Structure 1
Amino acid sequence: MKWMVASDIHGAAECCRKMLEAMEREQADKLLLLGDLLYHGPRNDLPEDYAPKEVITMLNGAKERLLCVRGNCDTEVDQMVLEFPIMAEYAVVQLGERMIFASHGHHINPSNPPYLKQGEILLNGHTHVPAYEKQEGGWLYLNPGSVSIPKNDSEKSYLILCERECRLNNLSGNQIWMKQFGE
């Protein structure tokens, strides 16, 4: 199984379009969205290509390949227009033998993690900053950054997760880094 992981679209239509094109180019089986799909939030500037109605149409068109968790900017009103569930606070998925706990990151994060065993993964968005960090106890913290509003001089990015490795790519598909699990 090949997972693409993205977060923090914040209603940016062109970024959403590029993200979905990347999903096709990468031949990902599923796209795991870590929240903040339509609204830009009070702390972010309006994205350059802010068009949440276009984002709704694009995401609904890919609904059979999406798994999503709720971000701090996602609301019940958003769920009314989206044809796939977005209100779950977290999701637990398997990647081969590896368990992945996915949440937006505003509540469950490296400072307040769930119980994770060695080799398991905590996936968060929220910070808009990509991360690959080994944690005390041997579990791994991953963040795909943001596809629309990157922070800390990062690029618009997403993760590709395979059984033995993960890659961070920019929206054009250029690899930023690749890590073998267990490194």
Structure 2
Amino acid sequence: MKLMFASDLHGSYYWTQKVIDRFKDERADYLVLLGDLLYHGPRNPLPKEYNPQKVIELLNQIKHQIIAIRGNCDSEVDQMVLQFPMMADYNFIPLEDRKLMITHGHLYSENKLSQFLQKGDALVFGHIHIPILKEKEGIYYLNPGSATLPKENHPQTYAILEDNHFEVKTLDGQIYRQLQLT
């Protein structure tokens, strides 16, 4: 199974269209959205082509291929217009020899690690807008960065997980960082 991860779209029609274009180019089975889909948030600037209504249209067109969780900027009103579930604070994706815990990162993170994970599992999160790929005490911490509002001079990114290989890529498809999960 090939999974594509994106986080922190923050209502940008421009960057969401780029994410969906990459999803189609990558031919991933599912697009896993790690929260903060429609609203830009009070601490963020308005992103390029901020248009939540058009983002809703784009995402609903591929609703059967989306796995999503709630971010700190997402609300029940967002769920009323999105045609896929996105209100869970976390979820699990089972793989052959491990499980992925997906979450936004504001409730569960490296510093607030859930007791649900064991050696070999991965916490996949967004929220901080910075790509992270690391292993600590047998648990993997994976963050695709932000597709819309990256921080600390990182480019707009997304991630691919296939055959236990996690790649963070720029929105032109170039590998930015990678990690083999053992």
Pair in the same fold by TM > 0.5: yes
Q: Which residue matches 1:44?
A: 44
After TM superposition, the structure 1 = structure 2 runs for residues 19-168 of structure 1, keeping only pairs within 5 Å, are 19-115=19-115, 116-136=117-137, 138-168=138-168
For residues 169 and 106 of structure 2, what CA distance do their matches in structure 1 show? 23
Q: How many angstroms does 1:94 deviate by?
A: 1.5
Q: Which residue matches 1:8?
A: 8
Alignment TM-score, normalising by the size of structure 2: 0.97
Partner of 1:50, secondary structure, is coil
Q: Which runs of 5+ in 2 are unaligned?
A: none
For residues 46 and 82 of structure 2, what CA distance do their matches in structure 1 show? 21
Q: Which runs of 5+ in 1 are unaligned?
A: none
Q: How many angstroms does 1:178 deviate by?
A: 2.2
Task: Give a deviation string over 1:60-97, Cα, whole Å, max 9, x none.
Answer: 00100000000000001111111111101111002221
For residues 158 and 96 of structure 1, what CA distance do their matches in structure 2 show? 23
For residues 164 and 77 of structure 1, what CA distance do their matches in structure 2 show? 36
Q: Which residue matches 1:17?
A: 17
8 Å contact from structure 1 (residues 95, 163) kept in 2: no
For residues 20 and 51 of structure 1, what CA distance do their matches in structure 2 show? 15
Give aligned-pair identity as a percent. Answer: 44
Counterpart amino acid of residue 170 in structure 2: N
- What is the alpha-carbon root mean square deviation over aligned residues? 0.8
Partner of 2:18, secondary structure, is helix
8 Å contact from structure 1 (residues 133, 141) kept in 2: yes
Counterpart amino acid of residue 130 in structure 1: P
For residues 73 and 164 of structure 2, what CA distance do their matches in structure 1 show? 32
For residues 142 and 179 of structure 1, what CA distance do their matches in structure 2 show? 9
Q: How many angstroms does 1:117 deviate by?
A: 1.1
Alignment TM-score, normalising by the size of structure 1: 0.97
Q: How many angstroms does 1:4 deviate by?
A: 0.2
Q: How many angstroms does 1:153 deviate by?
A: 0.8
Counterpart amino acid of residue 165 in structure 1: H
8 Å contact from structure 1 (residues 95, 162) kept in 2: no
Q: Structure 1 runs of 4+ off > 6 angstroms?
A: none
